Amino acid sequence: MTQFVESTVKFPYKRSLGPVIGEFMTGLAHMRFVGIRSGGRVIVPPLEWDPDTGEELDRDYVAVGPAGTVGVWCWVAQPTEQHPLAHPFAFALITLDGADTSLLHAVDPGDISGMSVGMRVAPRWRAARTGHITDVEAFVPGEVPVIPDDDAGPPDEPVTMMEYNASVTYSVPVTQYESNVRQANQEERLFGLRCPTCGRIYTGGKGYCPIDAVAFTDDDEVELPQTGTITNFTIITPVQYPGQTETEPFPRVFVLLDGFDVVLGYQPLVGCANEDIHVGLRVSTRWTTDAEGAVMAWSPNGEDDVLDPELVNRIN
């Protein structure tokens, strides 16, 4: 039976809203909707440029809503964690009173039978508002906005920036070889696979020789040493952005394992100042434990350097 592992990649970032979207978001924080005039119509949310001509619009803001009329809609029967509500709801295009364009938002009618084209809806405001589209928890049937009893009020300053944590979760199949590698790491061991045809030894990969297209078996496993020599390295200066966990420059090194024609690339190195890292430095594994189990890094072991000018040519 194929095993799968789930991974989540997060993309935290912060953006400047600019004067027009900033006006709209500030309005939400104050429980009001703002549009902008473009010729003979009112656009909501407001835009900086006319969508037909591309001309920059005058900052002629217009108060709209708060109630509106539902146009087209779709029902979300099984919401995920990415959705605005945890129970079934509708996404709908809502034309707020006084607007000529539609606003996409969630509608919470209680049941799909409560949804219809042309129904009247009003916003249900959050108690704590930050100047974000989610300051409207959802629209609900009726003409009167729902204002929370424990209203925390808007921010003290106009809203000019917005933080957002985007994320993507995906599942990938795990081969038997990858499972064996994970188990070996938990036992603080390193192993590779020797191709029974060409004799090459591989670490990583999907469990087969890319040269001979031969699938490996457990009999092809080879225990690898936990000492080696640095052949190449790089010092990474992390870009500082919201959510960045690394704040200082850190190294990644290539390690040629003793007695084997195997180079492990982009390995973490600890216990050594960046300025002291050099080609020929002798290193050994250092194992630590975190929430996911054993984690391997390399560290100088005090042995004499290897003085071989050909080391720099070994990156694989």
User: What pLDDT does residue 241 have?
Assistant: 74
**Quick check: 292 pLDDT over 80?**
no
User: What pLDDT does residue 178 have?
Assistant: 78
Question: Confidence class of residue 181 from pLDDT cuts 50, 70 and 90?
Answer: confident
User: What pLDDT does residue 204 have?
Assistant: 76
- Region 22-31: what's the mean pLDDT? 95
| Cβ burial, residue 201 (10 Å; 0-12/13-18/19+) | middle
Question: Confidence class of residue 168 from pLDDT cuts 50, 70 and 90?
Answer: confident
Question: Confidence class of residue 186 from pLDDT cuts 50, 70 and 90?
Answer: confident
* Least confident stretch, 129-133, 267-271, 292-296: 292-296
User: What pLDDT does residue 242 have?
Assistant: 66
Predicted confidence (pLDDT) per residue in 116-157, tens digit? 999 999 999 999 999 999 999 999 999 999 998 888 878 888
Question: Confidence class of residue 2 from pLDDT cuts 50, 70 and 90?
Answer: low
Q: Is the pTM of this model over 0.85?
A: no
User: What pLDDT does residue 87 have?
Assistant: 96
Say if residues 124 and 155 touch (Cβ distance below 8 Å): no
Instruction: Report domain extents, the chain.
Output: 3-167, 225-316
Distances (CA, A) of 48 to 36, 55, 121, 293: 9, 9, 27, 51
Mean predicted lDDT score pLDDT of the chain: 91
Residue that wins the pLDDT comparison between 15 and 241? 15
**Quick check: 215 pLDDT over 90?**
no
**Quick check: 290 pLDDT over 90?**
no
User: What pLDDT does residue 147 have?
Assistant: 92
Predicted confidence (pLDDT) per residue in 30-57, tens digit? 999 999 999 889 999 999 998 888 889 9
